Structure 1
Amino acid sequence: MNQITSACVLSEAEHHLLSLAANETDTAIIITDHLGRTLYLNDGFTRMLGYTLADMQGKVPSAVVSGLHTNATALASVREHVTSRESFRTEILIYDRRGKPLWIAAVINVVKNDEGECTRMVGVWTDITNTKMHEVLQHKALHAIAREAPIVDVMQLICLEVERIAPEVTVSIRRIDPSNRLWTVGAPSLPAHYVRAMDGITLDCGIEGSEVPGLEGQLVVFGERSATSFWGERTELAQACGLAMCWWRPIRSGDGQTLGTLAFYYRERHHPDNLHRRLADVSVNLCSLAMEREASKKKIRRLAYFDSLTGLPNRSSLVAQTDTLLVDAARMERPLAVLFLDLDRFKQVNDSFGHPAGDMLLCEVAKRLKKCLGEKDIAGRLSGDEFVVVLTSCNADDAVARCETIMATIREPVILGSMSVTPTASVGIALFPQHGDSIGTLLPHADMAMYRAKAAGRHRYSIFDPDLNRAAQENLKLERALREALQSDQLQLHYQPQVRLEDGGIHGVEALARWSHPEFGMVPPQRFVALAEEGGMIAELDRWVLRTACRQLSEWRRLAIAIPHVSVNISPTTFSDQALPGLIAQTLADHGLRASDLMLEVTEGVLLNTATDGFANLNSVHDQGIGLSIDDFGTGYSSLSYLHRMPVNELKLDKSFVHELESNESARTLAKAVMSIGASLGLSTIAEGVETDAQRQILTRHGCKVAQGYLFARPMSATTLVAWLNHWKPAAGSSFHVGSS
């Protein structure tokens, strides 16, 4: 009897423990009969879903907890398994007694009797809403972002997913513009007239609300706002839309910049619960990712199609837009004009005032061009100081008038730092359809016309002429021939003596490149040197001149011919090469020459542009003992403030001054000033282009010591120079006559 009593007590204890285990867990447990009708549920089921055993007794659970967004296919699968009396697992969206959605993971096991028949079914349901919320919401939003869906579609999706998970919430997402104003990008469930009323508000207004302890963001109760507040003014509108409260949070970028706002609206007074907070956390992060990605895409598109400095369309964008305009012009049979603009002397602005000032000038020119555009016209920047304007419905007369207006607008003074600069532009005009039917034809034709305008004196315009195209083709052939001439050593050096005026002695010789071509004949130096610069061959040409001149001077020394030194012109491009000082030193060593045997002639731009390697090379070659001469002194932006600090040995007075010495008092005054500057700084002055004895006498009176020009001798070959030297023995103070050619 005692043993039976003990067994009964033990059984009751076990029953109590099992009851505790079933009821005190957060997991929902439900037992049904073989037909799936509810027989038992634990307290965890009631806590999770709100249903009691009285509510569920005799009912099929799936029929009670399914709702609007329950997946129909998943629900049908559950019922099929129950009908088949099979154990199964599933994840499915259900609804609690209040209509709140939640995701569950359900495990249903079949209980069978000794005959193998199903007598009961035991279900264990676990709430996986948090996991599923992150999984579904993030998966859908990230998938949309990854396939580069429009930003509005991504935001609408986030709003709808949040509202599906929490039906009591209505969501809006707004972005902030550069003016601090908010604009809706997602609010699918808010009334359209309310959305329109809220668009354009400033963030300062939008941040009104109450700080709730433990709740990030701002909480607004519409009926409690004062009539004078931002929300107070909109209370009636919100209440008319059935909105009682709003909880909003800022959307921030990774670096803390405010990108927009996320707002949850409630139709009843309902403080955000844990689910809402988690939804907001996930949504804010997704919105931030989508907005930052959209900003990056816009930046990439802008970099791809717009000039980063001026904001104008770049070449690729300009070409694409012009192609569209040309199609329209052809269909409507309307003319169109392409203007190619190049700023005059822009390099000198950079050299004199620095590149930041040059950038300021380019931006100002871009602004002025925009002001001159019609509704369908476009302007773009190609590169450097080159701009293009495309004028629609514009014939030749209209193009000239518009061009003059643009040039006048550009010419208005610009303040760069403390200096006032008056920019000008040279413009080439090509017309559709006369000069081409595509941008690929019109643009180079306008470019050719621009170069003709610049060659005519700058601040001019020129309309394309077919003859220009023929000239361009000839230039292309000439450039190709020059490249071959450099590779096969077809050029020659001629030498022009530099004569001391006091005694007629030889000061030195200047090496000058000459090119005689079988087809083109004697090509003027100014032409093939310009071709070398444009075609990227100038450094090769300079190195050839340097090597050839040094080799020839070495040969003269071997023959005991008294040539004090040879002068060689070096372009600014070549002078900026870091390897130049080493190349010069090696060339002198290869030919057994001293540093003093060589004089390098450079332009003033090399002296003024302190930001390049050319400036450093000045000091480097000077330290070797090589002489430096400023060529064409007085024709550019001469800077006396730099001159006295530069390692320069001589100044070359440009021939433009010398030619007018006899007839122009101003030329004589300027020439005298240059020679005085040279003398005061201990520099020699060489006058170029001396052709008459009267010019020589004026130069001598003003203190000029050395001259070169046709009065003494033309540039000549090395052999002819030796013969000329044998006959050149003038007495001091005697008249000079034109030497041999």
Structure 2
Amino acid sequence: MTESSVAVDPPASAHSPADAPASALAATDSLTASQARGTLIQTLEQAVDAVVVIDARNCVTLFNASAEALWGRPRAEVLGRNVSMLVPRGIRAQHDSYVDANRDTGVNHIVGTSREVVIERSDGSIRWGSMSISKVYAEAGVLYTAFIRDVTHEVKRREERRLLSLAVNETDSAIIVVGVDGRTIYINDGFTRMLGYGLADMYGKVPSTVVRGRYTDEKTLEYIKARLAARESFRVEILVYDRCGKPLWIQAVVNMVIDEYGACTNMVGVWTDITNTKMHEVLQQKVLSAMAREAPILDVMMLICLEVERIAPEIVTSICSIDKQGRLSTLAAPSLPHDYISAVDGLVVGADLHACGITGLDGQPLVFADISASSCLAPFRALARAGGLAAYWSHAIRSSDGRLLGKLTFYYREAREPDLLHRRLVDVSLNLCALALEREASKENIRRLAFYDSLTGLPNRAFLIAHTESLLASAARTDHTLAVLFIDLDRFKHVNDSLGHPAGDTLLCEVAQRLKGCLRAFDFAGRLSGDEFVVVLSPCGEEEARALCERIMAALHEPVTVGSTTLTPTASAGIAIFPRHGHEMNTLLLHADMAMYQAKAAGRHRYAMFSAELNRVAQDRLKFETALRNALASDELQLHYQPQVCLSDGSLHGVEALARWRHPEFGVVPPDRFIPLAEEGGFITELDHWVLRRACRQLAEWRAQWSRDAGADPAAASAAIPHVSVNVSPTSFCDRRLPGLISRTLTAWGLAPGDLVLEVTESVLLDAASGGLATLGEVHRLGVGLSIDDFGTGYSSLSYLHRLPVSELKLDKSFVRELESDEGARALACAVMGIGASLSLDVVAEGVETDAQRTILLAQGCEVAQGYFFARPMPAAELTAWLRSRLAQSVG
């Protein structure tokens, strides 16, 4: 029914020999022709195979029950219609030509042909049939009878066998089947591709006797034999060799084939090449795991060598590091002779380049197929021969940025060059070695960052304390004394301010070098922070500590050139002795620090030994600082106000707010004691903000009271107290939030910017790096007055004074005090008046206590003064009474 079918013999159950249909149609003694035809039709109807009969017009005249089942179509749907409806849609167009071709095959009553055809059922499913066609001559004309046997199952089984064979032979895995005696009876094409052996090479042989080699593990072979003898399935990894002798690692999975009686008939092995997996997953995983566990670098390198030698036992592995001077140092070489290692260690890359096995800058590997024939390895030839080494292959280990870190070497016990396995091992091992060495360098760098000062290279505070604690423990066991020196450079900030921070850094580095030059064998020096250094002298008593301290201070006092400037640095030092002054490092540091401050207070460039009195002073200082913090937090401080008087007419120029502290236990604490305490304690800014807010609030309250008394006349209220002056520390001016605080405070109390004057010291003007000048400019732009306090005692440069946004100069009381007796003081005061006049700045003289001083200042052109001669600082209520009294006197 289709020209593409493959002919097969018709089934015996479907039709008889060639002449059977003709004789069935002939007349017989017992049957008429009609009866014979009916018998034939009945026979065809009952046939097991499908029967389809068509006439000369290709129409179906018979479609038996088996055909109905095969096509899934009822005969009523088929009979009388063109047979093409039974042909798959894709080939219906060729059906009639196929039938016509069969008509011309002969003139016999029956002509048989056979082939496999595709059956497309009514539901669209596909089956296969083996079809034979007979050509029959009947009274009605030529009939074509097709007998179709359902061979779908056979076709599927045949296709499955084809695909199974294809899968078995096209897989990368090697498949081997052995009998119960362990001898090979089948191998697939993958086995031949992997190992090079054909079936003729393997048939009848035990596989292990063919693929074993020099370094195949015997214990693993014994394990395999035991499992095979026990008829047990198993999985194993083993080193085998191919037909050319190349080693490769395989994973063998062996399963038993059991028949229906439970007996083992065969064993099937599937071998997978895991050479790359062995390197990338096993070797790499083990090494990375070791690094993740923070294993020491020597352990990591030893692991790499051992794993390489396990994967490729014919290799002897060595890993060396190369330091900054180019010297070799063996990190791991478990199988290399010790004499050979000793000969290689210490060689210098460059001078001993060939001996090291490292080529030029390109870092290409150097291969010696035969060590005995290489002249450049002559010094090591005897050692290599004694160690059984014949060939040598070396690679440079380089960092990610190309730096030379070390070398990886493979040695061989026979003269040969590396194979593909070895090249893969090198690729993996080089990456792991580079990673481990770079990681070790990073760890060392992190360690240096964590424990060493990056500028000077000296140990930092953390390392200093940790190391000294171990020294203290040793000194305690041996009953030795130990000295801790706390050294602080004098006026170091002035170097940074005047010459810049790079100059300061240069000085610190020079100090560090000089300190190290003064140390004895077991002494130890470190940098705490800034310009603070610590020296630990061990062992050392008090007198020896004094002598060594004097030597160190003398060394530091030597001139040092910084750029174009020559400096002669000085330092102050404090000494604490273990165990007399403390038993642990933090205590000794604290006590040495106290002694250093004592030395600095005594005049700098000195040293002092810690004493109990210093400790008492420190305790009192801490007690005072705590009390001051509490007083500030609980609003226990007070403001007193001192009038500033116009000398020409005695009117009030303004008032200065001054902080006062009366403590229940300490009594009245003077400002010159608690203000420095706040500065050193780090809360002077909080104190400044409190004074600012309280002074503005008080000025607003005064004006509100004056307005009520003056009949709500704001001008009279403002004239009564024109402004309030507040001292602000340089630290507060470093805070860029100060202008915002001032603006919010003035707004909150309804004050104008001109109602407030901030008094600043000249240090704010000198410290450009701190940001104080920028803050000063922002405050000036608000409209707030600015006054330079204690003018003349600092380091102001007159060349830029006229560019500063200040409106007032305050002549320091030290000049005023000597006006009556010292011509020089009068000259300096007169000079300040001249500066103020020339720059249109008000000058306020402080500390006026006598009428004579007032007279001199007035004669010199001073317009404003304050001091005990006019009034002492007083609380707000007393100042109110003082103002009312003056107002009453002026009215009277």
Distance 1:223 1:656 in 2: 94
In structure 2, the residue matched to 1:490 is: 636
> Quick check: 1:469 aligned with 2:615?
yes
Answering whether residue 382 of structure 2 is matched by residue 235 of structure 1, we say no
Structure-1 separation of matches of 2:512 and 2:821: 44
Separation in 1, partners of 2:540, 2:788: 48
Equivalent position of 1:437 in the other structure: 583
Distance in 1 between residues matched to 2:791 and 2:726, nearest whole Å? 16
CA deviation after TM superposition for structure 1 residue 520, in Å:
0.4
Structure 1 segment 57-72 matched on structure 2, within 5 A: 60-62=206-208, 65=211
Change (3 A) 1:479 1:211: closer
| Contact 2:298–2:332 under 8 Å retained in 1 | yes
Secondary structure of the 2:364 match is strand
Give the CA deviation at 1:515: 0.9
Cα distance, 1:34 vs structure 2: 1.5
Q: Match for 2:754: what amino acid?
A: S
Q: Which moved more, 1:293-302 or 1:116-125?
A: 116-125
* Distance in 2, Cα, partners of 1:180 & 1:210: 11
1:157-176 matches, within 5 Å, as: 157-176=303-322
Q: Which residue of 2 aligns with 1:372?
A: 518
How far apart are the structure 2 equivalents of 1:648 and 1:251?
Answer: 67
Structure 1 residue 526: Cα displacement: 1.9
- 1:219 maps to which of 366, 378, 384: 366
Per-residue CA deviations over 1:21-73 (Å, capped at 9, x if unaligned) read 99998754545432213466678757755778898776543366556865677
Point out the more displaced range, 532-541 or 443-452.
532-541
From 54, 58, 80, give the equivalent of 2:226. 80
Of the structure 1 ranges 312-321 and 255-264, higher mean CA displacement relative to structure 2 is found in: 255-264
> Shift of residue 625 of structure 1?
1.0
2:179 to 33, 40, 44: 33
For 1:698 and 1:171, how far apart are their aligned partners in 2? 97
Tell me, in whole angstroms, the C-alpha distance in 1 between the residues paired with 2:413 and 2:221. Answer: 31
Counterpart CA distance in 2 for 1:482 and 1:269 is 86
8 Å Cα contact 1:223-1:235 kept in structure 2: no
Question: Is residue 369–residue 417 contact of structure 2 (8 Å, CA) maintained in 1?
Answer: no
Q: Which moved more, 1:561-570 or 1:704-713?
A: 704-713
Deviates most, 162-171 or 635-644: 635-644
Q: Which residue of 2 aligns with 1:571?
A: 729
Task: Spell out the pairing of 1:338-349 with structure 2 (5 A cutoff).
Answer: 338-349=484-495
Range with greater deviation from structure 2 (39-48 or 263-272) = 39-48
Aligned-pair CA distance for 1:578: 2.9
1:217 is displaced (CA, Å) by 2.1
Structure 1 contact 210–220 (Cα < 8 Å) conserved:
no
How many Å apart are 1:312 and its aligned residue?
Answer: 2.4
**Which residue is equivalent to 1:94?**
240
Conserved? CA contact 2:369–2:416, under 8 Å: no
Q: What residue number does 1:601 align with?
A: 759
Q: Which has the higher contact order (CA 8 A, sep 6+)?
A: 1
Q: Quick one: distance in 1 between partners of 2:556 and 2:814?
A: 30
Matched, 1:630 2:788: yes
The within-5 A match list for 1:63-462 is 65=211, 75-95=221-241, 101-110=247-256, 117-201=263-347, 203=349, 217-221=364-368, 234-238=377-381, 240-242=383-385, 246-266=392-412, 268-462=414-608
> Judging changes above 3 Å, is the alpha-carbon distance between structure 1 residues 434 and 499 closer, same or farther for their aligned structure 2 residues?
same
Distance 1:198 1:693 in 2: 95
Larger mean CA deviation between 628-637 and 365-374 belongs to 628-637
Secondary structure of the residue that 2:365 maps to in structure 1?
strand
Q: Distance in 2 between matches of 1:540 and 1:17?
A: 88
1:398-423 deviation digits (Å, cap 9, x = unpaired): 22222222222223344444444433
1:310·1:362 contact (CA, 8 Å) conserved in 2?
yes
**Conserved 8 A contact 2:487-2:573:** yes
Work out whether residues 574 and 610 of structure 2, in 8 Å CA contact, stay in contact via their aligned partners in 1: yes
Which deviates further from its counterpart, 292-301 or 617-626? 292-301
Q: Can you give the 5+ residue segments of structure 1 that lack an aligned partner in the other structure? A: 5-14, 730-741
Letter in 1 for 2:763: G
Q: Once the two structures are superposed, what CA deviation does each residue of 1:182-230 show, in whole Å capped at 9, x if it has no partner?
A: 4332233333344344444555568767999xx982325498999xxxx
Instruction: Give the drift of 1:172.
Output: 2.7
Q: 1:345 to 1:680 in 2, by over 3 A?
A: farther
Q: What amino acid does structure 2 have at the position aligned with 1:622?
A: H
Answer whether contact 2:482 2:536 (CA < 8 A) is retained.
Answer: yes
Q: Write the mapping of 1:511-550 to structure 2, written as runs, cut at 5 A.
A: 511-550=657-696
Could you tell me how far apart the structure 1 residues matched to 2:839 and 2:376 are? 79
Q: Which amino acid aligns with 2:405?
A: L
Separation (CA, whole Å) in 2 of partners of 1:178 and 1:395? 40
TM-score (norm 1): 0.83
Q: How many residues align?
A: 711
Q: Which runs of 5+ in 2 are unaligned?
A: 1-7, 10-160, 707-716, 888-892
Distance 1:664 1:270 in 2: 103
Give the secondary structure class of the aligned counterpart of 1:155: helix
Contact residue 365 and residue 396 of structure 2 kept, 8 A: no
Cα drift, residue 505 of structure 1: 4.9
Alpha-carbon spacing, 1:628–1:27, altered in 2? closer, same or farther (3 Å)? same
Of structures 1 and 2, the larger Rg is shown by 2
Tell me the alpha carbon deviations over residues 475-527 of structure 1, each in whole angstroms, 9 at most, x when there is no partner.
Answer: 22222222222233222222233345556554433221111112101112122
TM-aligned CA distance change 1:112 to 1:216, over 3 Å = farther
Query: Could you tell me how far 1:371 is from its partner in structure 2?
Result: 2.1
**Counterparts of 2:290 and 2:436 in 1: how far apart (Å)?**
9
TM-score (normalizing by structure 2): 0.70
State the distance in 1 between where 2:801 and 2:881 align: 38
Q: Percent identity?
A: 65
Question: Is the contact made by 1:35 and 1:82 (CA closer than 8 Å) also made in structure 2?
Answer: no
SS in 2 for 1:450: helix
1:732 maps to which residue?
none
Distance in 2 between the 1:579 and 1:491 partners?
Answer: 24
Task: Tell me the secondary structure at the aligned position of residue 125 of structure 1.
Answer: strand
Query: Does 1:617 find its partner at 2:775?
Result: yes
The residue matched to 1:134 in structure 2 has which SS? helix
Deviation at residue 126 of structure 1 after TM alignment: 3.1
Aligned residue identity for 1:237: F
Deviations 1:286-308, CA, capped at 9 Å, x for gaps: 12222232233223333333333
Shifted more, 85-94 versus 598-607: the winner is 85-94
Q: How far apart are residue 639 of structure 1 and its match?
A: 4.3
Residues 92 and 105, structure 1, Cα contact 8 Å, conserved in 2: yes
User: Residue deviations 1:361-383, cap 9 Å, x none?
Assistant: 33333332222222222222223
Q: Distance in 2 between matches of 1:438 and 1:546?
A: 44
